[in-house]
Amino acid sequence: MSTDDEQVLDAFARHLELQRNLSRHTIRAYLGDVTSLLDQLHEAGVALRDLDLNQLRTWLVGQQRRGMARSTLARRVAAVRTFCTWAARAGHMGSDVGARLRSPRPDRHLPVVLGVDDAASLLELARERAADGDDPVQVRDWAALELLYATGVRVGELVGTDVGDADLGERTLRVTGKGDKQRMVPFGVPAGRALAAWLEQSRPRLVRPGTGAALFLGVRGGRLDPRTLRGVLHRLAAEAGVHDLAPHGLRHSAATHLLAGGSDLRTVQEVLGHASLATTQRYTHVTPERLRAAYTQAHPRA
């Protein structure tokens, strides 16, 4: 990528932050996606101003051949289309060629969802490993996993919280989601117990000079990296003998169990921080018994 491209990319980043008000996570993803395109153009000796639809399609086909999931491809197309619209308006391109780039339909399947018993087994194992309190990291992992399941928040939202965002008395957690939108999410007694143990006994042991207000800390005293939690969850799932899953799997499990327990879609939408109810409705197909019971009770010809 040329120096000129780097300057364009920096200006695009400022646009996403100041004009679009996107989250840091989304901005980072979009910049990575556009960088992929600009790198290919640079290797092909094509200037940004000369970009056309055929070159965009060639870039997209290259992404597909690398085995990327359709959901990732859809996000990359969205990022490039946003970039092309901005670049055309800013005078870096002659026209908005990205407007005609079609996005592949994203996969609609859900990740692995744990049953209620398997989720309980996983979290009980985390609690047992933290029980003696000798290892602050084990207590941290227990508290973090309990909160992920109890609240359904994204792993990035959880590690982005500060101590002041957690209210043990009210058992609520304030998180900042996509678009820097804040929401309050409740959590139950088990998560409250784990979080209290972390804050009162274990977090102080990981504090180092310069440690900030982050709720969850790494072993060096900085804010916990989400990749660390992913590794913890993979190891615990294997040890507990349940389906392997990532932190997002706990989010999906929480949503599924809320719906199966009788929660309405609007409430689950608020808990998860979905902008659209249609996104939340993805979970309804995994609880057919509840839907069938509601139909039997309500439909006059059931």
The alpha carbon of residue 249 and the mean position of all alpha carbons in its chain are separated, in whole angstroms, by: 10
Does the annotation count 274 as an active-site position? Answer: yes
* Sheet with 182-186, side-by-side order of all strands: 166-167, 172-176, 182-186
Question: E strand or H helix at 175, and its extent?
Answer: strand 172-176
Does the annotation count 248 as an active-site position? Answer: yes
Q: Among residues 20, 42, 178, 193, which one is catalytic? A: 178
Does the annotation count 89 as an active-site position? Answer: no
Judging by beta carbons within 10 Å of its beta carbon (0-12, 13-18, 19+), is residue 277 exposed, middle or buried?
Answer: exposed
Does the annotation count 178 as an active-site position? Answer: yes
Q: Among residues 42, 174, 248, 290, which one is catalytic? A: 248
Q: Among residues 81, 92, 154, 252, which one is catalytic? A: 154
Q: Are strands 182-186 and 172-176 parallel, antiparallel or unpaired?
A: antiparallel
Does the annotation count 203 as an active-site position? Answer: no
Does the annotation count 154 as an active-site position? Answer: yes
Query: Which 8-state DSSP code applies to residue 184?
Result: E
Distance CA 202, CA 136 (A): 5
Q: Among residues 203, 251, 252, 257, which one is catalytic? A: 251
Whether 191 contacts 150, CB under 8 Å = yes
- Helix, strand, coil % over all residues of the chain, rounded to 5: 65, 5, 30
Q: What is the DSSP string of 199-237?
A: IIIIHHHH--TT--SBSSB-TTSSBPPHHHHHHHHHHHH
Whether 244 contacts 238, CB under 8 Å = yes
Whether 26 contacts 183, CB under 8 Å = no
Distance CA 227, CA 302 (A): 49
Name the nearest CA neighbour of 127 among 191, 55, 61: 191
Whether 172 contacts 185, CB under 8 Å = yes
Active site residues: 154, 178, 248, 251, 274, 283
